[in-house]
Chain A
Amino acid sequence: MAEPGASPAAGGEASRGMPLRVDAEVVAAECEGGANHRLRLAVPGWRGFLPGQFVMLSPGALAAVPRTDPLLPRPMAIYRAPGDRGEIEILFKRHGRGTALLAAARVGQKVGLVGPLGRGFPTADPGERAVLVAGGTGIASIYELGVRIRAAGGAVQVLLGARGVDDLMGEADFVSAGLPLRIATEDGSRGERGLVTDLLEQELRGDAATRVYACGPTPMMRRAAEIARGSGAPCLVSLENPMACGFGVCLGCAAPLREGGFALVCRDGPVFDAERIEWAGLP
C-alpha cells in the first residue's frame, strides 16, 4: 500500500532537472484546423525535459494574469523542444475557457509557465520494440518518446486515434520524423475506421516482447492496458487527471491504485505501469 503523501522512489533520470517558474514568451501560435492549436514558447532558463513531462500554463504573465475565470493554470504535455534552443512546443485542443485563452495567445505575449513537472517515461531499453498508442490530446505526450526510442536504436510503431480528421493532431510531424504511423478515426475520415485500440490489438497479436506506451482518454488507456495484459506485454500509461498545482500539493489529481491508496498523477506520474492503476476508480 502506498504511504499517504509519500514521495516517489528516487527516480533515476526522471528526477533530473529542477522545474522553473517563469514567464515564457509566445514565439509562434498556429491554429492547425478544427480545435487544434500549437504554441511555441521561448522559456528563459529551459534545460530540457523528459518525454511524458508536462508544464502548467497560465494565459498571461504570472504577476498579471487575471485569476478569475478560469482560476487555474492548465497542465499541458511538452510536445517537443525543436532546435534545442530553449523553446518548447505545446499541442492542444481548444475545448474550454482555459484552452480558449491559450489558443488566443499571440506572438510576443507572455504565458506563465511552471515546469517541467512529473517523472516522464522511463528510459527505453536499447533496441526495444515499442508500440505507442495515443488518442486525442494524448498524442502530444508521445511524439518525443517515439523520437527518442528510435534514436536509442529501438523499433517504434505509432498508432494515433481521433474522432475524425479534424481532431487528429501532429500527423505531419510523425511522418516527417519518419516514425511508422497508423491512424484510426471513429468516422473513417482518415486512416482506418474504428478505434485506435483495434489497431493495437492487430499490432500486438500476443507478442509479449513489445512494450506498449499509451496516452489518451481513460477508456482508451484502460482498453490498451487490457490488450497488453492479454498479450503478456508490459504497458505504461500517461494519465491526464485534472490538477490545480502540478507539483504535489493540491492533491487533486489522485489516481486510485490496485495495491490500495492513491498516487498523485503530477508527482508520482503522469506515467504509471498500467497494472498499478485501479481503472474502475478513475473518473
Chain B
Amino acid sequence: MGGSAVISRPELTPEEVDPRVDLGGIALRNPVLTASGTFGYGTEFGPFLDLRRIGGFVAKSLTLEPRFGNPPPRIAEAPSAMLNAISLENVGVDAFVREKLPALPEGVTVVASLFETEIDRYAEAAKRLSGAPRVAGLEVNASCPHVKSGGIEFGQDPAVLAQLIRAVRRATSAPLLVKLSPNVTHIAEMARVCEGEGADGLSLINAVQALEVDVERRRPVLANILGGLSGPAIRPIALRMVWQASRAVEIPICGIGGITSAEDAVKFLLCGASAVQVGTANYLDPGVAGDVADGLRAYAARHGFPRVQDLVGQLETGGR
C-alpha cells in the first residue's frame, strides 16, 4: 500500500486564515491561551507580550480566601521538565476581582481558575467569579485534595468529580471548563463524567505527580516531597490523553502539556483539541505564547487550511 495521501491544498497567506474559535461559549480570537499558574494575573507579562495577540489567559487558581504557598524549595529541574510544589498560593477571589481584573488592558480575554477543598466552597467561588465583569469563563481546577474524601484529588474519583461539577454547574451559567488531572487510569471516563454534568469544555492535562531526589543529601529536592511535573517531557502523555478524551466526548478540549512552539500546538489540534494552553514555556520566554499564536496561523496558511479550526482532529491514523 502506498499509504494514505495527504490532501494537497493551495497555500494561503496567514491573513487569509481565520484563527477564531469558540471554546465552550468563550469566544477566542485565536486558540492559544496561557495556563493557570504559569501566567500570574496577566499584568506581570505587560512588558513582554501584548495580551491581545493571544486568545486569552487563564489566571492563577483562586480560592475564597487568600492563601500562602509551601515552604521552599518549591521548584526543581528534571530533563525537559520541572517540578513545582507551590501549593496554589493566591490573592483570593475578592482581591482578584477588585484589584487584578481592573489592571488589565481592554480587549484581553480572561478565564478565571478556581479551586477549593470542599464542594460548597467551589460553588461559592464560582458564583462570585462568574458575576465579575471581564471574566469570560471559568476553569475548575479539579486536581486539589478533597478534605471530606480524605485528601484524594477531586479529579481522581469519578463520583466525587461528578458531585463537584454538578454543584459548580448549578452555581453559574458562565462557560465552564474543567481542568483534568492526568493522575488517573481512565481519562476518557473523567471526561464523560464532566460532559454529563454540564461542563462546556475540558482542559487537560494538569501537571503529572512526580518526585525528584538529591542524592548527596539523600532527600527529596522539594520541601513538599511530591510536586507536579510540567514542560516538554509530559507532552506525549498529554497528547495521548487529549486524543483519548476527544474521542469520548463532544464538548471542546483545550490541550495543555509542554507546548513551547507552534508545531507543538498543531499536534494538540490534530489530536482533537480545539484550543491550547501554553504553560511552563512562559517562564522560559515570557513572549512565547504570542509566537505560538502567530505560528499556528502560519502553519494553517502553509498547509492551506482556511480556518485554524479545520486542523482539529485531523490526525490520520489509518492506512499505514
Contacts and interface: CB of A to CB of B under 8 A. Distances in A.
Interface in B45-98: 45, 47-48, 60, 66-69, 71-75, 77-82, 84, 86, 89-92, 95
A258 interface: no
A251 B227 CA distance: 14
B40 A67 contact: no
B72 A71 contact: no
B47 A18 contact: yes
Given A5-B90, A69-B79, A71-B280, A241 B285 contact: no
B80 A69 contact: yes
Nearest to B86: A251
Contact of A19 (B47, B79, B282, B283): B47
Interface stretch (A25-33, A147-155, A242-250, A268-276): A242-250
A244 B283 contact: yes
Given A5-B66, A21-B47, A256-B72, A71 B287 contact: no
B284 A242 contact: no
B284 A4 contact: no
Nearest to A73: B284
Name A's interface SS: loop
Find the residue from A6, A241, A244, A253 having the highest chain B CB count within 10 A. Answer: A244
Contacts of B285: 21, 58, 62-63, 112, 114
A63 B295 CA distance: 12
B143 to A, nearest CB: 17
B162 interface: no
Contacts of A62: 285, 287-288
Contacts of A248: 40, 44
Interface string B275-306: 00000111111111001000000000000000
B48 A252 contact: no
Find the residue from A4, A18, A21, A283 having the highest chain B CB count within 10 A. Answer: A4
A264 to B, nearest CB: 10
Interface in B27-52: 38-41, 44-45, 47-48
Interface residues of A, number: 40
B91 A4 contact: yes
Find the residue from B77, B95, B282 having the highest chain A CB count within 10 A. Answer: B77
A21 B291 CA distance: 13
Nearest to A58: B284
Interface residues of B, number: 45
B291 to A, nearest CB: 7
A46 interface: no
Nearest to B287: A21
B284 to A, nearest CB: 6
A241 B286 CA distance: 20
A4 B100 CA distance: 13
B82 to A, nearest CB: 6
Contacts of B60: 5, 249
A64 B122 CA distance: 41
B177 to A, nearest CB: 21
A249 B71 contact: no
A67 B89 contact: no
B223 interface: yes
B260 interface: yes
Nearest to A117: B47
Contact of A242 (B75, B78, B79, B281): B75
Contact of B86 (A18, A114, A252, A282): A252
Nearest to B70: A254
A176 interface: no
Contact of B67 (A4, A18, A112): A4
Interface in B256-287: 260, 280-287
A220 to B, nearest CB: 18
B39 A249 contact: yes
B316 to A, nearest CB: 28
B231 interface: yes
B232 interface: yes
Find the residue from B231, B260, B284 having the highest chain A CB count within 10 A. Answer: B284
A180 B35 CA distance: 50
Interface in A231-263: 241-245, 247-256, 261-262
A124 interface: no
Contacts of A67: 80, 231-232, 260, 281, 284
24 contacts: A3-B91, A4-B92, A5-B41, A5-B89, A5-B90, A18-B47, A21-B287, A58-B284, A62-B285, A62-B288, A68-B79, A68-B232, A69-B79, A71-B231, A72-B284, A241-B72, A242-B73, A244-B75, A247-B48, A250-B86, A252-B84, A252-B86, A254-B89, A281-B72
In the complex, the 8 A-B pairs of residues with the closest C-beta atoms, listed nearest first: A252-B75, A245-B283, A249-B40, A244-B283, A5-B91, A69-B79, A18-B47, A21-B48
Interface of A: 3-6, 18-21, 58, 62-63, 67-73, 112, 114, 241-245, 247-256, 261-262, 281-283
Given A5-B66, A252-B74, 15 more contacts: A4-B66, A4-B91, A21-B47, A21-B285, A69-B80, A71-B80, A73-B283, A244-B84, A244-B280, A245-B283, A249-B38, A249-B283, A256-B71, A262-B89, A281-B72
